[in-house]
Amino acid sequence: MFSSVNSMGLMGLRAYPVQAEVDLSQSMPAFEIVGLPGAAVKESRDRVRSAIRNCGMAFPLGKIIVNLSPADVRKDGALYDLPIFMGILTAAGMLEADLSDSAFLGELSLSGEVRRVNGVLPLVLQAKEMGLRNVFIPEGNAAEGAVVKGINVYPLAHVQQLLDHYFKGQPLETAKPVPTEPAAADSFLDFADVKGQSGAKRALEVAAAGGHNLLMIGSPGAGKSMLAKRIPSILPEMTFEESIETTKIHSVAGLLSEQASLITQRPFRAPHHTISPAGLSGGGTVPRPGEISLAHNGVLFLDELPEFSRDAMEVLRQPIEDGQVTISRVSGSLTYPCSMMVVAAMNPCPCGYYGHPVRECTCSQNAVGRYLSKVSGPLLDRLDLHIEVAPVEYEHLVSTQKEESSASIRQRVNAARHLQQQRYQGLGFSCNANLPAPAVNRFCPMDDGATALLSRAFDTMGLSARAYDRILKVSRTIADLDSAEVISRRHIAEAVQYRSLDRKYWNR
């Protein structure tokens, strides 16, 4: 007898339909899985066999062939346990039910418990796209599955529930939507704690409003890490589409907690500088998203930038430009999105006090040069705003004057981002930083004063074409914070000033 059960597979973030076809014939007992199964899928045999027995049923005798179609795409993970289980029961005639409008996914324990798997959000979205009415998923993924509307999502803790449903007509409950994920533990970090530093705060506001990359240079204890840790508190609200995309990536990486439904706060990833290039970009035999993709629609913070390996820095170049990263493997190549805002922090030299207003730097000119040259030129060129964080002045530090709160900064950021979303509606990007080069001139109209200033800066500073585009995009954001449609001289002046540090330190 033959049966076919709907399921889904994942290639990167892209889900595709999978059919678990089961053929049971009367010959020598055997149990085989074909259709390019990975190791976890091959081991499915033992789990499914035990689960059937431990549910009090006899494992069917005969030769069982399971084909996971399409047969030319490699299948990985344990999510096919449940569809194979259902396929065997129907092929053996132990279960008579119409499964054509349902899909199944989940790992089984030997006793028949249904265990959590990765990537449930894109898989359930795919089930909906296939026009199915029901999808059965592990209970541990219920919050994530419940995000998808327009399809009945049934969470299962044990296959017995499924058997009771089909054999005894016991109704199953659909997954309940969970409001949103719990607030992050560090959500109490607020810009109100940072005394003074108005210049740095302004630059961070501009960066957050337009999604621009930013580099902070300053001596030890100047407050670079302190400022960076507060960036999440001023990031603009996520749109629903951004939330879905970011949640998909975290789902595929298996990083969503059981209670987490949709990610509604922009991610802030701060990998340690010992991270490998593959850890940043993504990799492994079954390529998993790396830190840059986990930071999609959020922030990638690189503290102590020169300490990162040269290879790690190089690997960032193309993804920063393209907003996506392609990982090649023998089994094929995968593309993950990584449209992120890169924030980097560094000391200006090994001792940390080069350029300090009072303390003397003990490094030789050579050592300073060597240290700074660890940051490659092309990477530096991609960081739109460069700011110097000077140690906070004494009178600011001890002042009792209240500093502006993150909530109030965030209001301006949200307003500026809202303008951008309206302007770029339907164009496939939503912030100034992602404005593609050919569209820069169209969306960044300048008045005469602005044009004159920019052309002078271009000549005197020897800017690259990329730097020119990036300055225009930052000016666009500064104008948006000003609610101005046309970019004027002062907007350009501020943006150009954020490009002057590479000349001071790197002599570019």
Q: Which residues bind Mg ion (CB under 5 A)?
A: 225
Residue 485 CB contacts under 8 Å (≥ 6 apart), including other chains: 445, 479
> Of the candidates 12, 119, 218, 279, which one interacts with ligand ATP according to CB under 6 A?
218
Nearer to ligand ATP by C-beta: 164 or 307?
307
Nearest 10 degrees: Cα torsion 367, 372, 377, 381 = -160
Name which of ligand ATP, Mg ion, none residue 332 binds, using a CB cut-off of 5 to 8 Å depending on partner kind.
none
Residues 34-53 that bind ligand ATP (CB under 6 A): none
Q: Is 224 in the site for ligand ATP (CB under 6 A)?
A: yes
Residue 45 CB contacts under 8 Å (≥ 6 apart), including other chains: 31, 32, 33
Q: Is 199 in the site for ligand ATP (CB under 6 A)?
A: no
Nearer to Mg ion by C-beta: 320 or 345?
345
Q: Is 214 in the site for ligand ATP (CB under 6 A)?
A: no
- Per CB under 6 A, the segment of 130-138, 147-155, 219-227, 494-502 that binds ligand ATP is 219-227
Inter-residue contact 105 to 82 (CB < 8 Å): yes
Q: How far is the CB of 225 from Mg ion (least distance, A)?
A: 3
In which region does residue 56 sit, left (phi positive, over 0), alpha (psi from -120 to 50) or beta (all else)? Answer: left
- Per CB under 6 A, the segment of 40-48, 142-150, 191-199, 367-375 that binds ligand ATP is 191-199
Alpha-carbon distance 1 to 88, whole Å? Answer: 10
Q: Is 445 in the site for ligand ATP (CB under 6 A)?
A: no
* Radius of gyration from C-alpha coordinates of the chain: 27
Q: How far is the CB of 393 from ligand ATP (least distance, A)?
A: 9
Inter-residue contact 390 to 355 (CB < 8 Å): no
> Of the candidates 3, 6, 90, 197, which one interacts with ligand ATP according to CB under 6 A?
197
Q: How far is the CB of 223 from Mg ion (least distance, A)?
A: 8
Name which of ligand ATP, Mg ion, none residue 226 binds, using a CB cut-off of 5 to 8 Å depending on partner kind.
ligand ATP
Q: How far is the CB of 128 from ligand ATP (least distance, A)?
A: 46
> Of the candidates 29, 179, 182, 220, which one interacts with ligand ATP according to CB under 6 A?
220
Residues 392-431 that bind ligand ATP (CB under 6 A): 392, 397
Q: How far is the CB of 403 from ligand ATP (least distance, A)?
A: 8
> Of the candidates 117, 162, 222, 334, which one interacts with ligand ATP according to CB under 6 A?
222
Nearer to Mg ion by C-beta: 99 or 344?
344
Sheet strands (E) in 324-422: 324-329, 332-337, 341-346, 385-389
Indicate the residue whose CB is closest to Mg ion. Answer: 225
Best CA proximity match to 317, nearest among 338, 298, 332, 296: 338
Residue 108 CB contacts under 8 Å (≥ 6 apart), including other chains: 47, 48, 51, 78, 81, 82, 85, 114, 115, 159
Name which of ligand ATP, Mg ion, none residue 374 binds, using a CB cut-off of 5 to 8 Å depending on partner kind.
none
Indicate the residue whose CB is closest to ligand ATP. Answer: 223
Q: Is 231 in the site for ligand ATP (CB under 6 A)?
A: no
Best CA proximity match to 382, nearest among 320, 459, 475, 312: 320
Cα–Cα separations (whole angstroms), residue 117 to 77, 125, 256, 279: 8, 15, 11, 22
> Of the candidates 221, 284, 332, 377, which one interacts with ligand ATP according to CB under 6 A?
221
Q: How far is the CB of 290 from ligand ATP (least distance, A)?
A: 24
> Of the candidates 194, 263, 305, 340, which one interacts with ligand ATP according to CB under 6 A?
194
Alpha-carbon distance 71 to 236, whole Å? Answer: 44
Nearer to ligand ATP by C-beta: 396 or 489?
396
Q: How far is the CB of 299 from ligand ATP (least distance, A)?
A: 16
Alpha-carbon distance 434 to 438, whole Å? Answer: 12
Q: How far is the CB of 280 from Mg ion (least distance, A)?
A: 19
Residue 160 CB contacts under 8 Å (≥ 6 apart), including other chains: 55, 112
Best CA proximity match to 286, nearest among 10, 8, 17, 7: 10
Q: How far is the CB of 295 from Mg ion (least distance, A)?
A: 19
Residues 294-353 that bind ligand ATP (CB under 6 A): 347
Name which of ligand ATP, Mg ion, none residue 8 binds, using a CB cut-off of 5 to 8 Å depending on partner kind.
none
Alpha-carbon distance 265 to 213, whole Å? Answer: 19
Place of tokens 């995309």: 245
- Per CB under 6 A, the segment of 22-30, 157-165, 222-230, 489-497 that binds ligand ATP is 222-230
Place of tokens 């569209």: 439
Nearer to ligand ATP by C-beta: 396 or 423?
396
Vertex 79: Cα angle to 76 and 82 (nearest 5): 140
Alpha-carbon distance 425 to 422, whole Å? Answer: 5
Inter-residue contact 118 to 40 (CB < 8 Å): no
- Per CB under 6 A, the segment of 73-81, 213-221, 284-292, 415-423 that binds ligand ATP is 213-221
Alpha-carbon distance 289 to 281, whole Å? Answer: 7
Nearer to ligand ATP by C-beta: 262 or 300?
300
Please give the size of the binding site for ligand ATP, defined by CB under 6 A: 15
Nearer to ligand ATP by C-beta: 182 or 220?
220
Omega of the bond leading into 70 within 30 degrees of 0 (cis): yes
Buried b (16+ CB within 10 A) or exposed e, 200-237: bbbbbbbbbbbbbbbbbbbbeebbbebbbbbbbbbbbe
Note the residues at the interface with ligand ATP (CB under 6 A).
Answer: 194-197, 218, 220-226, 347, 392, 397
